[in-house]
């Protein structure tokens, strides 16, 4: 049945409002929980400390999702990379740029984290546990990455083993070609199920935040709130500086376009992302607006979908700063070697996690579980502010992909500079009627991103 355009737009708007309403309720619930936890921690510290198991229980649920989240995102991510690489110069240039910028963002997160020392002096080591049987030598560590069997990696508790199996499976599926499409579709369906379960768990975030904040404030005093605020403000400032200084300067030098003009052009998309805490909600609109800006469809069709899986600047900054905060707060700061190892893991493990609220938290827990399992329970401490940080992550990821699309268009000589100037100056405004029925719908997009843009196999 074909719906009239007005009826279709009405249905999409109604669906979007329902989606935004649910997210706003959860957002408000987390704020109330953090405030209530802080009050209880200050007013009744002895009782507040007994609430620690609530926060630990929520972290345990997140840990339960680490293995399936890492496996699905890596397999799908490898598929995105391989498909982009097959389309020639545009795909190869995009992947190279994404790798460099993600690594650079992770490095900035480490640099700022080491300068600010967020969480130092909190002394919440009581929330940790000691992992048994950790490798004691480099040889043991490397051999420990290899699982006993292909499937034992999923029950061993070793995230590196899951990572190895996921990488092997991803490249093997690419080698199978058409014969592997059925398996890849099944993994996409599994990913949808995994993220739906993760979304259900996140509705317990207010409860987990209440227990964790109350216990931390009760045991350490109001100073814990100051440390969390320092991390939150430091993260936002770092993201702003990354966008304005790093992305802005690169965009200006390469194309002559002002980052502020580009962000003003994408104003509606920013509002949508703030409402949903997910950059995926604005994916169809970004594709349409980049084409209207003058970037060739071939560039947009490759760069934007691949970037959503592979170009996660905001998530990269968050993962490193949050990891350092937890290590400092638990009185066990990371050595430089551990920081570099964690950075390398995050570069791979974060691919495909963009746009799904809560995936960043699961990836953070996975990184700590891999390199510092004694710190993983500290994830509960930042549950209360993770929701606020997710907005900055999503906005930074979105901006990074918009800038990348313009840059790749310029470098491949497929950017209409005259059209870009006219659009950004307001002479040729974007026609909202060009957005299709999916243009305003929020929520996680399908993992089948390249096919949807006409890049993948027919």
Q: Is 415 helix (H, G, I), strand (E, B) or coil?
A: strand
For 381, other C-beta atoms within 10 Å of its C-beta total 29
Task: List the one residue out of 200, 199, 233 whose CA is nearest residue 112.
Answer: 233
Residues facing residue 415 across a β-bridge: 295
Phi, psi of 81 (to 5 degrees): -65, -50
Phi, psi of 415 (to 5 degrees): -120, 125
Q: Kindly report each contact of residues 217-220 with a partner whose C-beta sits within 8 Å and lies 24 or more positions away, as own/partner.
A: 217/37, 217/38, 217/40, 217/41, 217/42, 217/45, 217/48, 218/40, 218/41, 218/44, 218/45, 218/46, 218/47, 218/48, 218/49, 218/51, 219/45, 219/48, 219/49, 219/124, 219/126, 220/122, 220/123, 220/124
Helix-strand-coil split of the chain, %, nearest 5: 80, 0, 20
User: pLDDT value at position 365?
Assistant: 78
Tell me the C-alpha to C-alpha distance, in Å, between residue 3 and each of 6, 7, 10, 433, 458: 8, 6, 11, 15, 27
Q: Kindly report each contact of residues 418-421 with a partner whose C-beta sits within 8 Å and lies 24 or more positions away, as own/partner.
A: 418/294, 419/293, 419/294, 420/255, 420/257, 420/293, 420/294
* Whether the predicted model's global pTM rises above the 0.75 cut: no
User: pLDDT value at position 458?
Assistant: 31
DSSP, residue by residue, 57-88: HHHHHHHHTHHHHHHHHHHHHHHHHHHHHTT-
> CATH code for 68-205+222-452?
1.10.3860.10
Tell me the C-alpha to C-alpha distance, in Å, between residue 329 and each of 105, 375, 382: 23, 10, 11
DSSP, residue by residue, 287-304: HHHHHHHTB-HHHHHHHH
User: pLDDT value at position 362?
Assistant: 73
CA dist., res. 377 & res. 129, Å (int): 8
Residue 177 burial (C-beta neighbours within 10 Å; 0-12, 13-18, 19+): exposed
For 249, other C-beta atoms within 10 Å of its C-beta total 11
Tell me the C-alpha to C-alpha distance, in Å, between residue 378 and each of 37, 60, 223, 271, 381: 16, 11, 16, 32, 6
Contacts of 454 by beta carbon, 8 Å cutoff, 6+ apart:
301
Q: How many residues does the chain have?
A: 458
User: pLDDT value at position 278?
Assistant: 65
Please report, in tens digits, the pLDDT of each residue of the chain (458 residues total): 333 333 333 333 444 444 445 666 777 788 888 889 889 888 888 888 888 888 888 878 887 887 887 788 778 767 656 665 555 677 778 888 988 888 888 888 888 888 888 777 666 664 443 343 444 455 666 777 788 888 888 877 677 788 788 888 888 887 787 788 888 888 888 888 888 888 788 788 888 888 888 888 887 777 778 888 888 899 999 999 999 999 999 999 999 999 999 999 998 888 878 766 667 768 788 888 999 999 988 888 888 877 877 788 888 888 888 888 888 888 778 777 777 777 777 776 665 554 455 567 777 877 777 777 778 777 777 777 777 788 888 899 899 999 999 999 999 888 898 999 999 988 888 877 666 444 443 333 333 333 333 333 23
User: pLDDT value at position 174?
Assistant: 77
Token reading at 81: 């990379």
User: pLDDT value at position 6?
Assistant: 38
């Amino acid at each position: 049945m074909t719906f009239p355009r007005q009826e279709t737009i009405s249905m999409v708007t109604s669906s979007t409002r329902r989606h935004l309403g649910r997210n706003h309720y959860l957002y408000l619930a987390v704020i109330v929980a953090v405030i209530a936890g802080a009050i209880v921690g200050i007013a009744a510290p002895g009782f507040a400390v007994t609430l620690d198991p609530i926060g630990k229980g929520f972290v345990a649920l997140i840990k339960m999702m680490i293995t399936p989240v890492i496996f699905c995102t890596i397999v799908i991510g490898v598929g995105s990379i391989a498909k982009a690489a097959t389309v020639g110069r545009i795909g190869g240039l995009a992947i190279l740029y994404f790798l460099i910028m993600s690594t650079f963002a992770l490095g900035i997160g480490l640099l700022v984290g080491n300068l600010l020392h967020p969480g130092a002096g909190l002394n919440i080591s009581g929330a940790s546990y000691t992992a048994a049987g950790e490798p004691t030598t480099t040889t043991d560590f490397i051999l420990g990455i290899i699982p006993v069997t292909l499937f034992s990696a999923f029950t061993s508790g070793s995230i590196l083993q899951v990572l190895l199996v996921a990488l092997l499976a991803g490249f093997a599926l690419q080698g199978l070609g058409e014969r592997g499409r059925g398996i890849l579709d099944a993994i996409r369906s599994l990913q949808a199920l995994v993220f739906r379960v993760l979304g259900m768990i996140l509705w317990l975030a207010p409860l987990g935040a209440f227990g964790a904040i109350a216990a931390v404030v009760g045991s350490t005093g109001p100073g814990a709130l100051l440390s969390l605020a320092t991390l939150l403000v430091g993260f936002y400032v770092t993201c702003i500086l990354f966008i304005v200084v790093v992305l802005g300067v690169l965009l200006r030098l390469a194309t002559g376009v002002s980052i502020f003009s580009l962000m003003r052009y994408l104003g509606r998309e920013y509002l949508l992302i703030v409402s949903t805490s997910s950059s995926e909600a604005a994916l169809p609109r970004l594709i349409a607006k980049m084409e209207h800006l003058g970037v060739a469809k071939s560039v947009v069709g490759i760069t934007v979908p691949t970037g959503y899986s592979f170009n996660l600047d905001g998530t990269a900054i968050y993962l490193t700063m949050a990891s350092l905060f937890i290590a400092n707060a638990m009185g066990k700061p990371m050595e430089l070697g551990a920081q570099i190892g964690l950075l390398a893991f995050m570069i791979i493990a974060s691919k495909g996690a963009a746009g799904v609220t809560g995936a960043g938290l699961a990836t953070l827990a996975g990184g700590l579980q891999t390199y510092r399992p004694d710190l993983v329970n500290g994830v509960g401490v930042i549950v209360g502010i993770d929701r606020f940080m997710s907005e900055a992550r999503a906005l930074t990821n979105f901006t990074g992909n918009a800038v990348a699309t313009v840059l790749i268009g310029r470098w491949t000589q497929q950017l209409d500079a005259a059209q870009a100037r006219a659009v950004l100056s307001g002479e040729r405004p974007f026609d909202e009627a060009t957005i299709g029925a999916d243009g305003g719908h929020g929520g996680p997009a399908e993992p089948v991103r390249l096919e949807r843009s006409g890049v993948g196999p027919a």
